[in-house]
Chain A
């Protein structure tokens, strides 16, 4: 039921609010690339918006530093339901190089419920487009855990 409701809600344009939580700006520049006419995400209705109260999705970059944790939680509360949380880059996905640092929360998954992780350092603009499309349920997942055992 909730899935169908989500599908219906996100069928049209989604507006994203970009949050930098201590990122090095690598992923932020890739997000800007997605907005340029070359990648042109506005043809899918994806638009960068400058207030969380109008947003459908939070686009989070950075490993979530301790200083910014409170603000991220408040931003998440400010976004109206139903909402998507998209983690862009290796830092919010698994903490990146700062996964065990005292100054970060070691990834967005420790702070918020995340809908889709887009790993990459930084991810290609295509990868971001693919990730957002997957969050909307338009494309299937391509990765799976691999295991090898010696006989």
Chain B
């Protein structure tokens, strides 16, 4: 299956990357990782460098792409034009009390994507 993982610099995105790389190996999926310009403090290129390092270390042959601009809409548009069958995102950050905060990218993608969306917990 053609899978597109979207991630910014947040911890839940890196968790999702690790789990998706494992899943890619088991399922033989065709994985692309899109690094998004989110509101996180980290620069998108340095996030992309960390992502490439993790992908290389896993031995999985996955393309890593930086998508500039509004993160949710860029990810959805990329998924549609490139014919992806599934979008994967981090499952949200936890508040001090342990409540899950999905974030604006996940909210936008869930409401606007026309392919299935998986949130990794």
Partners in one complex: no
- List residues of B whose CB falls within 8 A of some A CB: none
- List residues of A whose CB falls within 8 A of some B CB: none
